[in-house]
């Protein structure tokens, strides 16, 4: 079987049925295939290749029997919002927001799908302009809420940020009108608060120690972002949730079904104060192992920095993402997250050579007090976390102590044995958004993208490094929880790997040893977003393996319990540049093709039979002569006189038969024609009878030699009563006929060039854009 012939035949049939396909050419076909390959590589292949290059097995150096805890560090996603590029016009700003979200969502899903980490830790700057969006104040109580409070027995409540709740004395003679009057007085006092009306300055705010005033929000940058508020923050939070918290993002390869484990009735006051009037359901999941995700470490774009931290913004961040100061045990390491942004209010660069004074520290105590208290009492909660973790391995060693069943005076009773302290220690990993102090010329290593060292600078709501005194204090206090083996930070958007030397105390259990000089390695993680000033974003892979005994001592491993690997992400800007170059090559190719076709009068859309001939043409048999009708068989169109035309026999629309005339001596044969049912009746038969036209031919063969002769068909005027389809069979084209073929409008060369270029663009962009849209739709 000739497959080439069959393929050409099917192609011809397709082009005849779908004339649109005849406008395809080799040029448009080749360019379309190249575009599809480029789009697939730019939207799938490049991303898969970068993530696959970071496979754990390619860089981990643990013993074969090791089962390490694998974690991923993500720094500075900083979702693009109106605060990021304030001068960028609408179409470009919207496109930037869309493609940055798509970029991070695609990479994060591939990380969980291909690398399957045990935990994911974020190093701050989750959002970009969260510190500028004003939080909502609590709404006043409605009449229905007041009535509910009265029915509940006049409970004691506190006034928090404008939510009108006050102490109601339990007096039997207090009337309903008196209670409502007191409630309205509290409401008016909250609404007319000078902080809320903007009648006090920022300085007065810091001097006033009233909790309500300290938690009031002040618009920074001269109120530039006053138009954006809680709705903007909620919108960005839902974007962050969709990119990083969705089950299809965290567990792309798992069938995770949800089911309600129990229900908790919502507070009626909270319902009418903005919450939905539904029950709160707690959910559990089925599927693969749980993946720990820690996002509570704040960044300066989340809550501000130092003196710019506002309690209202910080409280909102903690309500949505969690407490900034935390202790977690992962991979037999103590992970300590520290809010160094609030802590910097105690020690911050105020001038090129100055730091915060003691007077300023006293004014800002409400900002730095909480993280300071966390550091001062770090030993007890860290010991409790380590004991809880080790109790899972050695439950017999950590059996909780019980109270004796005796009655004692609480003032004179002996202190209960502490369950929060533990002699066991694990290696400590410190997480801070702002890097620790270093000299301005310290080399960050060969993996840094821009420059050699991390610059030391400060500005509005940012500071590149902590002060030297604060860094020493932080390292010294964190070391009481155990030996610091690594510090991870963000904020800089670029990679930096340095080693610090600190004189820190070493504490084992309750015994405090003398100070010693230790080398502590710090890694600043790259930004996860391609819109943060780095061409190649990235993330950090960390592998932990530390088998321990019941006292937390490492067993069977070397001193090194942690390994890191920088993983680079695709250069999104280069992908867009490649698309632009491909677009330029495509446009130039189509212009050249259109100019060639338009100026050379080439018909690229010839008849399909000319493009794909299926039967031999006249040129295949040059020995045959052509007659008037151009036929290869030697027959010509018969010539008729006017009298012959009038007496032309009619063709039957049904069937024919051959009759033999026996009256003739020579037995001459005539072809009888059966008249159709709609043929008109004739009064006189043709003089020469019904027979074939007199075909002038040099051939003397029989009728079989004339088989296949079809005279040209010409339609007559339907309004002519003397004209029908049959009466014009065999006629030659008449110049006086009423029905003629319309001449094709000849287009100019410029119009032909434009039409060919537009057609080429449409036929290339159609399938390419469909495939590109599908790739974008499916991540």
27-82 tens-digit pLDDT = 888 999 999 999 999 999 999 999 999 999 999 998 888 888 999 999 999 999 98
Q: Is residue 44 one of the residues assigned to a domain?
A: no
Of 165, 191, 216, the one marking the end of a domain is 216
C-alpha 647/C-alpha 98 separation (Å) is 80
Structure confidence at residue 373 (pLDDT): 93
Is the pLDDT assigned to residue 247 strictly greater than 90?
no
Instruction: Give pLDDT tens digits for 286-295.
Output: 455 678 899 9
Q: What is the pLDDT of residue 686?
A: 52
- DSSP 8-class letter at 223: G
The 3-state DSSP class for residue 660 equals: strand
Q: In which residue are the tokens 């090194």 written? A: 560
What 3-state class would DSSP assign to 503?
Answer: strand
pLDDT by residue (tens digit) across 336-346?
Answer: 999 999 999 99
CA-to-CA dists, residue 19 to 13, 16, 402, 605, angstroms: 10, 6, 89, 10
Q: Which domain holds residue 114?
A: 62-134+233-249+291-401+417-570
How far is residue 86's CA from residue 101's CA, in Å, rounded to a whole number?
18
- Give yes or no: residues 126 and 84 share one domain: yes
Average pLDDT of span 503-516: 66
Asked if residue 280 is part of any domain, the answer here is: no
pLDDT value of position 239:
94
What is the pLDDT averaged over residues 693-701?
Answer: 50
Could you tell me what percent of the chain has a pLDDT over 90?
A: 35
Q: Is 14 helix (H, G, I), strand (E, B) or coil?
A: helix
Most confidently predicted of 266-270, 505-509, 560-564, 603-607? 560-564
- Write out the two tokens for 587: 């446009």
Residue 226: what pLDDT? 87
Show the tokens assigned to 405.
């069943």
Q: How confident is the model at residue 446 (pLDDT cuts 50, 70, 90)?
A: very high
Residue 347 belongs to a domain: yes
Whole-number pLDDT of residue 704: 56
pLDDT score for 394: 80
Residues 331 and 426 reside in one and the same domain:
yes
Is the pLDDT confidence value at 404 over 80? no
Per the structure, the count of domains in the chain is 2
Q: Residue 122 pLDDT > 60, yes or no?
A: yes
Q: What is the C-alpha to C-alpha distance for residues 739 and 735, in angstroms, rounded to an integer?
A: 10
Distance CA 139, CA 321 (A): 23
d(CA 154, CA 143) in angstroms, rounded, equals 14
Q: For position 634, what pLDDT does the model report? A: 45
- The pLDDT score that the predictor gives to residue 358 is 84
The long-range contacts involving 276-285, CB below 8 angstroms and separated by at least 24 positions, are: 283/258, 283/259, 284/258, 284/259, 285/247, 285/256, 285/257, 285/258
Q: Which of 524, 543, 570 is the last residue of a domain?
A: 570
Confidence of residue 473 (pLDDT cuts 50, 70, 90): very high
What confidence tier does 672 reach under pLDDT thresholds 50, 70, 90? Answer: very low
100, 152, 400, 772 from 571: Cα distances, Å = 12, 61, 54, 18
Torsional class of 161: left (φ above 0), alpha (ψ -120 to 50), beta (otherwise) = left
pLDDT digits (tens, 9 = 90+) for 524-556: 999 999 999 899 999 999 999 888 888 888 887
* Residue 34, domain member (yes or no): no
pLDDT of 583 strictly over 80: yes
Residues 71 and 155 in one domain: no
Residue 162 has pLDDT above 60, yes or no: no
Distance CA 18, CA 546 (A): 69
Residue that finishes a domain, picked among 526, 541, 570: 570
Mean pLDDT value across residues 632-639 = 46
pLDDT at site 259: 54
The answer, yes or no, to whether residue 561 has pLDDT greater than 80, is yes
Place 368 in a pLDDT band, splitting at 50, 70 and 90: very high
Residue 182 reports pLDDT greater than 90: no
Q: Are the CB atoms for 549 and 557 separated by under 8 Å?
A: no
**Residue that wins the pLDDT comparison between 700 and 170:** 700
- Higher-pLDDT residue of 699, 111: 111
User: What does the pLDDT read at residue 613?
Assistant: 45
- How far apart (Å, rounded) are the C-alpha atoms in residues 438 and 471? 9
Per-residue b/e over 189-219, b at no fewer than 16 CB within 10 Å?
ebeebebbeeebeeeebbebeeeebbbbbbe
In this structure, the answer to whether residues 391 and 520 fall within a common structural domain is: yes
Residue 695 pLDDT grade (very low, low, confident, very high; cuts 50, 70, 90): very low
The answer on 354 and 498 residing in a single domain is: yes
Helical (H) or strand (E) element with 368: helix 365-376
Buried b (16+ CB within 10 A) or exposed e, 136-164: bbeebbeeebbeebeeeeeeeeebebbbb
d(CA 41, CA 777): 16
User: Does one domain contain both 212 and 341?
Assistant: no
Least confident of 47-61, 152-166, 414-428, 705-719: 152-166
Question: Shortest CA distance to 481 belongs to which of 385, 346, 342, 368?
Answer: 385
Whether residue 382 sits in one domain with residue 311 = yes
SS3 content of the chain, % helix, strand, coil (to 5): 35, 15, 50
Domain contains 547:
yes
pLDDT of residue 541: 97
576 inside domain: no
The phi, psi pair for 160, rounded to 5°, reads -125, 110
pLDDT in tens, 383-395: 889 988 888 878 7
Q: Are residues 425 and 311 in the same domain?
A: yes
Tell me: do 478 and 498 sit in the same domain. Answer: yes
Q: Identify the pLDDT of residue 216.
A: 80
Q: Please report, for the domain that includes residue 333, its CATH number.
A: 3.60.21
pLDDT tens track for 312-323:
999 999 999 999
Regarding predicted confidence, which is higher, 653 or 10?
10
Q: Could you tell me if 202 and 239 lie in one domain?
A: no
Token digits of residue 129: 């302009």
Distances (CA, A) of 597 to 26, 462, 606: 14, 62, 12
**CA–CA dist 339, 371 (Å, integer):** 6
Given a cut of 80, whether residue 136 has pLDDT beyond it is: yes
Cα 636-637-641 angle, rounded to 5 deg: 130
Same domain, 425 and 467: yes
Instruction: Please check whether residue 427 lies inside any domain of the structure.
Output: yes
DSSP 8-state assignment for residue 227: T
Within its chain, how far is the Cα of 345 from the centroid?
A: 37
The two beta strands, 428-431 and 484-489, are: parallel
Q: The pTM is what? A: 0.70
What is the rounded end-to-end Cα distance, in angstroms, of the chain? 45
Maximum average pLDDT range among 264-278, 352-366, 454-468:
454-468
Query: What DSSP designation does 324 have?
Result: S
Q: Does any domain span residue 658?
A: no
> In 3D, which of 341, 426, 386, 314 has the Cα closest to residue 123?
341
Q: What mean pLDDT, rounded, does the chain reach?
A: 75
Burial of 252 (0-12, 13-18, 19+ CB in 10 A): middle
Residues 376 and 455 in one domain: yes
């Amino acid at each position: 079987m000739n497959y080439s012939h069959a393929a050409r035949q099917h192609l011809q049939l397709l082009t005849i049925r779908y004339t649109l396909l005849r406008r395809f050419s080799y040029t448009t076909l080749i360019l379309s295939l190249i575009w599809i390959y480029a789009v697939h590589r730019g939207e799938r292949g490049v991303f898969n290749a970068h993530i696959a290059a970071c496979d754990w097995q390619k860089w981990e150096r643990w013993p074969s029997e090791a089962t390490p805890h694998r974690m991923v560090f993500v720094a500075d996603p900083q979702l693009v919002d109106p605060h990021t590029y304030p001068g960028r016009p609408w179409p470009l700003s919207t496109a930037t927001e869309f493609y940055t979200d798509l970029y991070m969502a695609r990479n994060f899903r591939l990380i969980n799908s291909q690398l399957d980490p045990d935990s994911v830790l974020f190093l701050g700057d989750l959002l970009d302009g969260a510190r500028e969006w004003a939080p909502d104040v609590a709404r006043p109580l409605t009449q229905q809420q007041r009535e509910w409070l009265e029915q509940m027995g006049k409970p004691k409540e506190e006034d928090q940020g404008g939510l009108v709740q006050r102490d109601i004395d339990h007096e039997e003679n207090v009337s309903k009108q008196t209670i409502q009057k007191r409630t309205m007085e509290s409401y008016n006092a909250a609404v007319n608060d000078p902080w809320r009306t903007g009648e006090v300055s920022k300085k007065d705010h810091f001097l006033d120690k009233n909790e309500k005033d300290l938690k009031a929000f002040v618009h920074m940058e001269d109120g530039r972002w006053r138009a954006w508020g809680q709705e903007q923050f909620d919108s960005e939070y839902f974007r962050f949730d969709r990119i990083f918290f969705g089950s299809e993002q965290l567990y792309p390869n798992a069938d995770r079904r949800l089911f309600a484990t129990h229900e908790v009735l919502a507070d009626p006051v909270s319902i009418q104060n903005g919450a939905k009037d539904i029950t709160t359901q707690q959910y559990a999941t089925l599927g693969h192992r749980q993946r720990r995700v820690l996002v509570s470490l704040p960044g300066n774009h989340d809550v501000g920095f130092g003196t710019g931290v506002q309690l209202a913004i910080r409280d909102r961040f903690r309500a949505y993402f969690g407490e900034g100061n935390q202790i977690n045990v992962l991979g037999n390491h103590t992970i300590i997250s520290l809010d160094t942004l609030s802590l910097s209010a105690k020690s911050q660069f105020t001038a090129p050579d100055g730091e915060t004074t003691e007077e300023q520290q006293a004014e800002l105590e409400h900002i730095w007090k909480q993280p300071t208290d966390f550091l001062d009492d770090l030993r007890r909660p860290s010991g409790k976390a380590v004991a809880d973790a080790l109790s899972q391995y050695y439950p017999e060693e950590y059996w909780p102590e019980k109270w004796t069943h005796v009655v004692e005076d609480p003032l004179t009773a002996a202190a209960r044995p502490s369950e929060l302290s533990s002699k066991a220690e694990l290696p400590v990993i410190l997480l801070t958004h702002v890097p620790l102090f270093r000299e301005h010329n310290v080399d960050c290593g060969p993996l840094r993208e821009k420059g050699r060292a991390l610059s030391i600078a400060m500005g509005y709501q940012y500071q590149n490094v902590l002060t030297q005194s604060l860094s020493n204090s932080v390292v010294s206090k964190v070391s009481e929880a155990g030996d610091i083996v690594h510090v991870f930070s963000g904020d800089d958007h670029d990679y930096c790997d340095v080693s610090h030397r600190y004189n820190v105390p070493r504490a084992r259990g309750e015994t405090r040893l003398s100070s010693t000089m230790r080398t502590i390695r710090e890694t600043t993680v790259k930004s996860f977003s391609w819109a943060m000033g780095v061409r190649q974003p990235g993330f950090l892979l960390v592998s932990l393996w530390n088998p321990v005994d019941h006292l937390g001592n490492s067993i069977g491993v070397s001193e090194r319990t942690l390994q890191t690997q920088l993983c680079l992400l695709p250069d999104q800007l280069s992908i867009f540049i490649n698309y632009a170059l491909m677009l330029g090559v495509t446009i130039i190719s189509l212009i050249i093709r259109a100019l060639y076709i338009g100026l050379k009068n080439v018909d690229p859309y010839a008849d399909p039979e000319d493009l794909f001939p299926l039967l031999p043409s006249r040129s295949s048999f040059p020995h045959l002569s052509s007659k008037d009708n151009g036929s290869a068989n030697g027959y010509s169109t018969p010539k008729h006189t006017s009298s012959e035309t009038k007496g032309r026999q009619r063709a039957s629309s049904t069937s024919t038969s051959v009759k033999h005339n026996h009256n003739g001596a020579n037995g001459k044969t005539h072809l009888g024609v059966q008249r159709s049912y709609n043929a008109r009746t004739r009064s006189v038969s043709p003089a020469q009878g019904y027979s074939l036209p007199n075909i002038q031919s040099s051939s003397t063969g029989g009728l079989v030699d004339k088989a296949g002769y079809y005279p040209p068909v010409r339609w007559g005027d339907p309004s002519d009563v003397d004209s029908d389809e049959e009466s014009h069979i065999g006629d030659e084209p008449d110049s006086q006929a009423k029905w003629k073929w319309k001449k094709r409008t000849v287009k100019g060369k410029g119009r032909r060039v434009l039409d060919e270029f537009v057609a080429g663009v449409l036929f290339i962009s159609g399938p390419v854009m469909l495939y590109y849209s599908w790739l974008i739709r499916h991540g």
